[in-house]
Amino acid sequence: MTMSSTQIWFLIGLIAIGTYLIRFSFFGLIGNRTFPAWVLRHLRYTPVAILPGLVAPLVLWPQATGGQPDAARLLAALVTIGLGTITRNILVSILGGAATLYTGLSVIG
Amino acid sequence: MSATTTKSVYRQGFRDGLPFLIVALPFGMLFGVVATEAGMTLAQTMGFSIAVIAGAAQFTALQLMQENAPVLIILATSLAVNLRMAMYSASLAPHLSNAPLWKRALAAYVLVDQVYAVSLARYDRPPELNTPQKYAYYFGVATPLVPMWYGATFLGARMGAGIPPEFALDFAVPITFLALVAPMLRTVAHLAAALTSVVLSLALAFLPLNLGLLIAALLAMVAGVQVELWMERKSK
Reported confidence tier of residue B1, pLDDT bands at 50, 70, 90: very low
Here the ipTM equals 0.85
Phi/psi of residue B89, nearest 5 degrees: -60, -45
Q: What is the pLDDT of residues B114-132, one digit of tens each?
A: 898 889 888 878 888 999 9
Specify the pLDDT at position B2: 47
Q: Which of A51, A58, A73 to mutate to test the interface with B (most CBs of B within 10 A)?
A: A51
CA distance B131 to chain A (A): 13
Q: Write the pLDDT tens digit of every residue in B137-155.
A: 999 999 999 999 999 999 9
Q: What is the pLDDT of residue B153?
A: 96
Task: Report the chain B residue with the minimal C-alpha distance to residue A73.
Answer: B171
Which of chain A's residues have a Cβ under 8 Å away from the Cβ of B106?
none
Of B89, B176, B184, the CB nearest to A47: B184
CB contact under 8 Å between A53 and B224, yes or no, is: no
Query: In chain A, which residues have pLDDT < 50?
Result: none
Asked if residue B164 has pLDDT above 80, the reply is no
pLDDT value at position B196?
A: 97
Contacting residues of B for A84, CB less than 8 Å apart: 178-183
B26-42 residue pLDDT tens: 889 989 999 998 899 99
Output A69 or B166, whichever has higher pLDDT: A69
Shortest Cα–Cα distance, B106 to chain A (Å): 9
The 3-class secondary structure across chain B, one letter per residue, is CCCCCHHHHHHHHHHHHHHHHHHHHHHHHHHHHHHHHCCCCHHHHHHHHHHHCCHHHHHHHHHHHHCCCCHHHHHHHHHHHHCHHHHHHHHHHHHHCCCCHHHHHHHHHCCCHHHHHHHHHHHCCCCCCCHHHHHHHHHHHHHHHHHHHHHHHHHHHHHHCCCCHHHCHHHHHHHHHHHHHHHHCCCHHHHHHHHHHHHHHHHCCCCHHHHHHHHHHHHHHHHHHHHHHHHHHHHC
Mean pLDDT of chain B: 90
- Prediction pTM value: 0.81
B73 has pLDDT over 70: yes
For position A81, what pLDDT does the model report?
95
- d(CA B117, CA B229) in angstroms, rounded, equals 24
- CA–CA min distance B146, chain A (Å): 15
pLDDT of residue A28: 78
